[in-house]
Amino acid sequence: MLEVLRSGAMSGTDITAKFELEFAQWQKTEFALGFNNGTSAIQAAMFGCGVGVGDEVICPSITYWASCLSSYSLGATPVFADIDPNTLCIDPNDIEHRITDHTKAIIVVHYVGYPCDMDPIMQIAHKRGIKVIEDVSHAQGGLYKGKNVGSIGDVGAMSLMSAKAFAVGEAGMLVTNNREIYERAIAFSHYERYGDRIQTESLKPYQGLPLGGYKYRMHQMSSAVGRVQLRHYDERMAEIQKAMNYFWDNLEGQPGIRAHRPDIVSGSTMGGWYFPHALYVPEELDGLSVTAFCNALRDQGCKICTPGCNSALHLHPLFNTCDVYGHGKPTRIANTERDVRQPEGSLPISEGIGARTFAVPWFKHYRPEIIDEYIAAFKAVIANYKRLLATDPGNPPMLGNWHFFKHS
């Protein structure tokens, strides 16, 4: 960091280029390209896959808006798929019937660390000739059946902002084994690197100016932090995994709650367990609402335990009525031949998931004596659940939010 400051290299690319090389090696992809944030990395990944005017991208409704919203500014639109209530990730069985001649890509999100079921998704994409973009913002370092998430689809893109498990300040990263996607991402938004080294013929005539009209360069204070983070991340991730697995192993079999983590024999992991959640099963607690359950946990001192997760994106007015660019109609359908909007009731799992999940503590250190206190609090609330039924306020009409996770 001090070297960057002393040499006045904040806007250079030499340190970022080193970070990219090291990151690609760690990620096990041929290419890595640094971005100023995850939102821009995802937009460049879409452009890299050829997403343009009139196209559709399939994306889960339960995610942070940046997984798909920048498709609007490419002239494209999202089509939302439902999630699987156990993984909280896109449901592989709810994708194929949504594919049309206009579908260019499926965007999957390894939601709050859980690796998506990539095998069937890749199979569908190959069969239908469309690309897969992995949003890895919640799952850096995670594995799906032993393979690094981010390296399985055609391209991975992710946030490395301060709240994420792999935190470097404000930054994003795109990773791929596909040279054309990599070069299209450079051409889109990295004009100073869009030069003689570009091999893709169709990109050669326009060198020197960014095709997207954007400048998405990573600040080198962040790439310097990133290079150091990379040296420690595997060790930090291992400690988080040990702590979180200890927490959940000790709550195994408790009624009303389930760990949100893949089976250990699958070879899949939760990476850095970004903003971990529990699955909540009210039927096992005589219908006690997740709101009452979390209130009781917070009374016990578990301050982070809030009900719900991200709200279903397809219900937000920005995806239904808002005319962002002056097309004279909602942007969602500005460039499409059919009305792709999805009314209330169309994605039942996404719409109801807020009542069946809640945030749990994100233990970053393996300190059993502290984790044990939380385990005891959870067990106490579950043991006393019958008493909570009498004063259960029920759930509000909407749980969770459309903005961002809060971190304490």
Ligand X SMILES: *Cc1c(COP(=O)(O)O)cnc(C)c1O
Task: Please say which residue, 13 or 140, places its beta carbon nearer to ligand X.
Answer: 140
Structure tokens at 385: 């659940």
Task: Please say which residue, 269 or 336, places its beta carbon nearer to ligand X.
Answer: 269
Residue from 26, 64, 248, 358 binding ligand X (CB under 6 A): 64
Task: Say whether residue 309 binds ligand X (CB under 6 A).
Answer: no
Q: What is the closest distance, in whole angstroms, from the C-beta atom of residue 236 to ligand X in the complex?
A: 19
Unique residue bearing structure tokens 């949100």 = 260
Q: How many CB atoms lie within 10 A of CB 54?
A: 14
Task: Say whether residue 172 binds ligand X (CB under 6 A).
Answer: yes
Give the CA radius of gyration of the chain: 22
The span from the CA of 6 to the CA of 13, in Å, is 15
Q: What is the closest distance, in whole angstroms, from the C-beta atom of residue 326 to ligand X in the complex?
A: 25
Return the SS3 of 301: coil
Task: Please say which residue, 109 or 270, places its beta carbon nearer to ligand X.
Answer: 109
Residue from 24, 66, 106, 279 binding ligand X (CB under 6 A): 66
DSSP state of 27: H
CA nearest neighbour of 114 among 256, 281, 248? 248
Task: Say whether residue 262 binds ligand X (CB under 6 A).
Answer: no
CA nearest neighbour of 216 among 193, 245, 248? 193
* Stretch in the footprint of ligand X (CB under 6 A) among 133-141, 212-220, 279-287, 370-378: 133-141
Unique residue bearing structure tokens 């920048």 = 70
The span from the CA of 54 to the CA of 229, in Å, is 40
Task: Please say which residue, 63 or 311, places its beta carbon nearer to ligand X.
Answer: 63
The span from the CA of 293 to the CA of 285, in Å, is 10
- Residues of span 134-163 touching ligand X by CB under 6 A: 135, 137-138, 159, 161
Q: What is the closest distance, in whole angstroms, from the C-beta atom of residue 42 to ligand X in the complex?
A: 6
Q: State the alpha helices, DSSP H only, in 254-347.
A: 290-299
* Stretch in the footprint of ligand X (CB under 6 A) among 61-69, 255-263, 287-295, 300-308: 61-69
CA nearest neighbour of 293 among 350, 352, 354? 354
Task: Please say which residue, 15 or 59, places its beta carbon nearer to ligand X.
Answer: 59
Task: Say whether residue 67 binds ligand X (CB under 6 A).
Answer: yes
Task: Please say which residue, 91 or 392, places its beta carbon nearer to ligand X.
Answer: 91
Q: What is the closest distance, in whole angstroms, from the C-beta atom of residue 164 to ligand X in the complex?
A: 6
**Interface pattern 8-47 for ligand X (x via CB under 6 A):** -----------------------------xxx--x-----
Task: Please say which residue, 67 or 342, places its beta carbon nearer to ligand X.
Answer: 67
Position closest to ligand X via CB? 38
Residue from 13, 63, 220, 342 binding ligand X (CB under 6 A): 63
Task: Please say which residue, 113 or 361, places its beta carbon nearer to ligand X.
Answer: 113
Q: What is the closest distance, in whole angstroms, from the C-beta atom of residue 314 to ligand X in the complex?
A: 16
CA nearest neighbour of 16 among 235, 248, 249, 190? 190
Instruction: In the chain, count H helices and then E strands.
Output: 10, 12
Exposed e or buried b per residue across 68-84, where buried means at least 16 C-beta atoms within 10 angstroms of its C-beta: bbbbbbbbbbbbbbbbb
* Stretch in the footprint of ligand X (CB under 6 A) among 64-72, 263-271, 278-286, 323-331: 64-72
The span from the CA of 246 to the CA of 366, in Å, is 8
In order, the DSSP letters of 199-237 are --GGGGGGTTS-TTS---PPPHHHHHHHHHHHHHHHHHH
Task: Say whether residue 70 binds ligand X (CB under 6 A).
Answer: no
Amino acid symbol at 120? P
Structure tokens at 300: 């016990």
Q: What is the closest distance, in whole angstroms, from the C-beta atom of residue 71 to ligand X in the complex?
A: 13
Q: Tell me how many residues contact ligand X (CB under 6 A).
A: 15
Q: What is the closest distance, in whole angstroms, from the C-beta atom of residue 133 to ligand X in the complex?
A: 11
* Stretch in the footprint of ligand X (CB under 6 A) among 12-20, 63-71, 82-90, 346-354: 63-71
Q: What is the closest distance, in whole angstroms, from the C-beta atom of residue 31 to ligand X in the complex?
A: 19
Q: What is the closest distance, in whole angstroms, from the C-beta atom of residue 57 to ligand X in the complex?
A: 14
| Run of H or E including 257 | strand 257-259
- Residues of span 101-130 touching ligand X by CB under 6 A: 109
Cβ contact 314:342 at 8 Å = yes
The span from the CA of 31 to the CA of 23, in Å, is 9
Interface positions with ligand X (CB under 6 A): 37-39, 42, 63-64, 66-67, 109, 135, 137-138, 159, 161, 172
